[in-house]
């Protein structure tokens, strides 16, 4: 059974969003996603300063058994990437909710209304 945290927003593509301050959010992949992938060996992240668009690809996660595109749950500008994942991509397997992938300044926070709450996400991640 995968862990789903309260207070986050979730996409049907198995990304999570955590609002940290104002219009700044962290984006990562869910526990369900990392379990499906298995041992993660590489994370392809966008450049700081690049734009991400809701439901468009912004990177990829590769494991020993599969590669999976990362689909942005928000539209905005990437203001940071998790540099720790360059040398330690397995941090996502250890704690997918602490090992965020990108930090984004969101253009329109009402976009979060398109995402799922924890109870709704739990229903699709079994």
Token digits of residue 41: 């060996």
Number of domains in the chain: 1
Task: Return averaged pLDDT per consecutive 10 residues of the chain, 126 residues in all.
Answer: 93 97 98 96 98 98 95 98 98 98 98 97 90
Looking at residue 33, its pLDDT comes to 96
Judge whether 95 lies within some domain: yes
Looking up residue 61, the CATH number of its domain turns out to be 2.40.50.100
Helices (H), the chain: 31-37, 84-87, 91-94, 118-124
Enclosing domain of residue 36:
9-109
- CA 110, 16, 121 angle in degrees (round to 5)? 90
Judge whether 72 lies within some domain: yes
Say if CB 59 and CB 67 are below 8 A apart: no
Looking at residue 125, its pLDDT comes to 87
Token digits of residue 9: 């927003």
DSSP state of 54: T
- CA 57, 12, 19 angle in degrees (round to 5)? 80
- Report the predicted TM-score, pTM, of the whole model to 2 decimal places: 0.97
Looking at residue 84, its pLDDT comes to 98
């Amino acid at each position: 059974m995968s862990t789903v945290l309260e207070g986050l927003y979730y996409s049907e593509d198995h990304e999570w969003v955590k609002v940290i301050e104002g219009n700044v959010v962290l984006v990562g992949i869910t526990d369900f996603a990392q379990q499906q992938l298995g041992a993660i060996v590489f994370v392809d992240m966008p450049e700081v300063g690049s734009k991400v668009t809701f439901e468009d690809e912004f990177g990829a996660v590769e494991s020993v058994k599969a590669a999976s595109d990362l689909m942005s749950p928000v539209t905005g500008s990437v203001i940071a990437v998790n540099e720790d994942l360059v040398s330690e991509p397995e941090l996502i397997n250890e704690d997918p909710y602490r090992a965020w992938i990108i930090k984004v300044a969101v253009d329109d926070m009402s976009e979060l209304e398109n995402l799922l709450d924890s109870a709704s996400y739990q229903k699709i991640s079994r």
